[in-house]
Structure 1
Amino acid sequence: MHVVLTSAGIGRIEGGAIAVLDTPYPDPGALIEATGSLDALATARVVRRIPLDGDQGLLAPLVRPRALWGVGLNYHSKAEKTGRPVPSEPVLYLAAPSSVSGPGASVRLPAEETAEMDYEAEIALVIGRTLDRAAERDAWPAVAAVTAANDLTARDVMKRTSAPVLAKSFPGFTALGGSLLSLDEIADPGAIGVRSWVGGERRQDCTGADMIFAIPELLARISRYAALRPGDVVLTGTPAGTGQDRGEFLRPGDTVRVEIDGVLPLTTRVHA
């Protein structure tokens, strides 16, 4: 099932249009927190249909995640490009949920704090069932949905403060969307494609097969230290090709497009 959030409410994508649904939940995140999945939307009554026109009218499908987890250096290609050793443990951090923005959002470059605003295309996971010291075999079935993320990062803030939470928590820096994809639509969680473009130029093109810590292992490892709860979001790292790798950072007027297999494209625009 392919789910979006619009100003008219939660919708399913059907036949190239959005079927707006009769549901008491204000957004898919609230539904997942309450029920653990998107399943209730499969049989929800359609109240009207509206055109699907790119990212026009789409909102962040997860308005305010309970927790927003990220992992640094989780692709072999990224480690090779930067010359850094492959980590033996995931490099984990939390970002402020207030940093979430949606598809088509215009995000301010905070020039007073950073000259190195960077893009990171990532597979994002929405947790549906509690994971607490979970086994790897139980991790993937506990995911409620997959979406796209652009994990924007102020690289110089990261270096200056050694605090990922500060480098990644500026308003709009965690772009999510444009849709949520339920697990029944994903044949192989280890082969999900992730790509990015800046101004129409492809910058990243990889799959989850290149991850250092595959999705089940990553979730199980996080759950050793902190329980993952329904509604939490886990970003799974970015492959090589970021601005950091190229020595070329985002500027006002740039447009970043992120694609995750099966998910509607996620576009972010940068303004001064």
Structure 2
Amino acid sequence: MTSQGLGRIEDGAIAVLDTPYADAGALIEATGSLDALAAAEVVRRIPLDEATGDDAGPLLAPIRPRALWGIGMNYHSKARLTGRDAPAEPVLYLAAPSSVSGPGAGVRLPAEQTAEMDYEAEIAVVIGRTLDHAAEADAWAAVAAVTAANDMTCRDVMKRTGWPVLAKSFPGFTPLGASLLSRDRVAGPDAIGVRSWVRGEQRQDSSSADMIFPIPELLARISRYAVLHPGDVVLTGTPAGTGQDRGDFLRPGDTIRVEIDGVLPLTTRVRT
């Protein structure tokens, strides 16, 4: 989403559209998908190189969820690295929606609270249709889109408090974007690549095929306990290669780049 409204990517540019929807969340809540954008009239075009990169111009977070779900330890690579068995049940949590920020955001290091600010490249799933006690076979069809997320976490806050919500809910700690990829354009729930770079060095490189709880199963499991509504976002876990794994945490001036297949790159800067 741009500061002028919704847009679609075409011919190396973002086509800003004439739509009645304030943001992608409103569109998905009203229609369950992004399909209505295909026929919308183009108002203006913004070249992609002006809207992406480390100083991502006019792009905002593509969605502002009312509910923001996350899961701990959901990649086999991460479990192997820690020497832990794969969990039998997903470790779920909610983060504050106020933590959402957009592409190119400068996220403040809360130095008074942490010395272990970390990055987590993740596939974010945007719900398009209500899921309530859903069957796993029906869950993927209820997805509207996927996007990139950087599920930033203060590891020492997590240890000190025992609460993921506190470790992950600082202002700006959930960058989302830079675009949404409609479900019908995704190769499949088990074929989504996820990668990250920090300070220009690649840190993570995996795919949803390595998930302990695949996306349809994860959504179905959550829906047994809480209703997932259109516009809700589910973060699906991070593979090995985080700062925690390397003993190398974020510091002011760092830039993190997250790539999810088919989605514009998501960059985040750490500031004081």
From 34, 39, 44, give the equivalent of 1:43: 39
The 1-side partners of 2:45 and 2:200 are apart by 31
- Answer yes or no: is 1:142 the counterpart of 2:138: no
User: Which residue of structure 2 lines up, in the alignment, with residue 30 of structure 1?
Assistant: 26
- For 2:15, the equivalent position in structure 1 comes to 19
3-state secondary structure, aligned to 1:86 = coil
Q: In 2, distance between residues paired with 1:52 and 1:262?
A: 14
Aligned length in residues: 267
1:84 aligned onto 2:84: yes
Aligned equivalent of 1:235: 235
Q: Mark the runs of 5 or more structure 2 residues left unpaired by the alignment.
A: none
Tell me the CA shift for residue 8 of structure 1: 1.5
Tell me, in whole angstroms, the C-alpha distance in 1 between the residues paired with 2:143 and 2:182: 9
Q: What is the TM-score when the length of structure 2 is the normalising length?
A: 0.97
Q: Deviation at 1:48?
A: 1.6
After the TM superposition, which segments of 4 or more aligned residues of structure 1 sit over 2 Å from their partners? none
Q: Of residues 3, 8, 11 in structure 1, which corresponds to 2:4?
A: 8
Q: Which residue of 2 aligns with 1:262?
A: 262
Identity %: 82
Cα RMSD (Å) of the superposition? 0.7
Distance in 2 separating the partners of 1:148 and 1:109? 21
CA distance in 2, matches of 1:88, 1:95: 22
1:256 CA displacement: 0.3
Superposed displacement of residue 9, structure 1: 1.2
Aligned partners of 2:253, 2:214: CA distance in 1, in Å?
A: 35
The AA in structure 2 aligned to 1:30 is: A
Q: How does 1:204-243 map to 2 (within 5 A)?
A: 204-243=204-243
Distance 1:187 1:65 in 2: 24
- Amino acid in structure 1 at the alignment position of 2:104: G
Give the 5 Å matches for 1:54-69.
54=52, 55-62=56-63, 64-69=64-69
Aligned to 1:155: 155
The aligned counterpart of 2:128 is: 128
**Paired residue type of 2:7:** G
Structure 1 position 50, deviation (Å)? 1.9
Question: 2:115 aligns to what?
Answer: 115
* Secondary structure of 2:256 counterpart: strand
Structure 1 match to 2:103: 103
Unaligned runs of 5+ in 1: none
What is the CA–CA distance in structure 1 between the aligned matches of 2:15 and 2:259, rounded to whole Å? Answer: 22
